[in-house]
């Protein structure tokens, strides 16, 4: 059996970079399930998105680092367990290990039935913040992947504008490439302020960026 030495070398290089990544080490030290927590932390620290008493929805939550960060922010003492001053609802197509105080729904956000279940859990509460780290399984075909990414973001925007308070916010992950400008335009259509972020915890080689919409525009008369 032949072994692809180039692929083996790439995997070894990635593993070495991952193990020595300062954010990976920090996540292990602070009890986060992944380094992704620090991406949301940087955005939150700049924009003050999470406030006491907030209702927050975390889309694409597994393995749970964003939900962990959010629950600590909603805890009066910033603790990983105990009292929670607010409501935190998480959803993912993958299973997620429980996080104290987080209501988790496993299902595909693209399915109407799952979306209806999420809306039922939210109930009549106005949502203060929606965060989405959702990403589809990438095929490697740029045009196909762009459509899949755009679809998830469009669903997140639609959910947000129908559930957010007038001063609420939406954070999504997206990728530079085909369809990027159209998604920025979609945000500008529905939010009063739109900001882009490339957090320090996001690897330099990654095409990912984060888009934040602040304040929902009222629907046209």
In a domain, residue 221? The reply is no
Whether residues 38 and 141 fall in one domain: yes
- The answer on 50 and 13 residing in a single domain is no
24 and 43 inside one domain: no
Say how many C-beta atoms besides its own lie within 10 A of residue 83's C-beta.
Answer: 10
Whether residues 103 and 15 fall in one domain: no
Q: Which residue has the tokens 């070495």?
A: 16
Please indicate, yes or no, whether residues 162 and 146 belong to a single structural domain of this protein: yes
Q: Is 85 helix (H, G, I), strand (E, B) or coil?
A: coil
Answer yes or no: are the C-beta atoms of 90 and 102 closer than 8 Å.
Answer: yes
Judge if 16 and 71 occupy the same domain.
no
pLDDT in tens, 125-150: 899 999 999 987 777 777 778 888 89
Residue 96 and residue 7 share a domain: no
Here the CATH number for the domain that contains residue 148 is 3.40.50.150
Residue 155's CB is within 10 A of a number of other CB atoms, namely 16
Rg of the chain in Å (alpha carbons): 18
The reply to whether 2 and 38 lie within a common domain is no
d(C-alpha 206, C-alpha 58), whole Å: 22
| 2-52 confidence digits (pLDDT tens) | 445 545 545 654 355 555 688 899 999 999 999 999 999 999 999 999 999
User: How close are the terminal C-alpha atoms of the chain, in Å?
Assistant: 67
pTM higher than 0.85: yes
pLDDT tens-digit series, residues 85-137: 999 999 999 999 999 999 999 999 989 999 999 999 998 889 999 999 998 77
Domain span at 1? 1-30
Which tokens go with 184? 């920025």
Whether residue 6 lies in the annotated active site: no
Is residue 84 one of the residues assigned to a domain? yes
Write down the catalytic residue from 9, 12, 29, 173: 173
Q: Are residues 57 and 150 in the same domain?
A: yes
Query: In sequence order, what DSSP letters do the residues of 93-139 get, joined into one string?
Result: SS-----TTEEEEES-TTSHHHHHHHHHHHTTPPEEEEEE---PPP-
Q: Please give the structure tokens belonging to residue 11.
A: 């995997």
Are 15 and 59 in the same domain?
Answer: no
Known binding-site residue numbers for S-adenosyl-L-methionine: 64, 66, 92, 108, 133
Can you say which residues are annotated as belonging to the binding site? Answer: 64, 66, 92, 108, 133
């Amino acid at each position: 059996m032949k072994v692809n030495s180039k692929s083996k070398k790439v995997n070894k290089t990635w593993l070495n970079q991952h193990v020595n990544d300062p954010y990976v080490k920090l996540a292990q030290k602070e009890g986060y399930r992944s380094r992704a927590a620090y991406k949301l932390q940087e955005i939150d620290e700049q924009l003050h998105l999470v406030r006491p008493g907030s209702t927050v929805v975390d889309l694409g939550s597994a393995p749970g680092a964003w939900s962990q960060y959010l629950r600590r922010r909603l805890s009066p003492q910033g603790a990983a367990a105990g009292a929670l001053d607010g409501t935190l609802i998480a959803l993912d197509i993958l299973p997620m290990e429980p996080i104290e105080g987080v209501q988790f729904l496993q299902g595909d956000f693209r399915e109407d039935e799952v979306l209806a279940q999420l809306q039922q859990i939210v109930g009549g509460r106005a949502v203060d913040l929606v965060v989405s780290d959702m990403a589809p399984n990438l095929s490697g075909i740029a045009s196909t992947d762009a459509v899949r990414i755009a679809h998830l973001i469009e669903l997140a925007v639609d959910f947000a504008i129908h559930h957010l308070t007038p001063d609420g916010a939406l954070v999504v992950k997206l990728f530079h490439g085909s369809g990027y400008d159209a998604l920025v335009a979609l945000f500008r259509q529905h939010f009063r302020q739109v900001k882009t972020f490339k957090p320090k915890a996001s690897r330099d080689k990654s095409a990912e960026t984060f888009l934040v919409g602040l304040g929902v525009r009222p629907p046209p008369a």
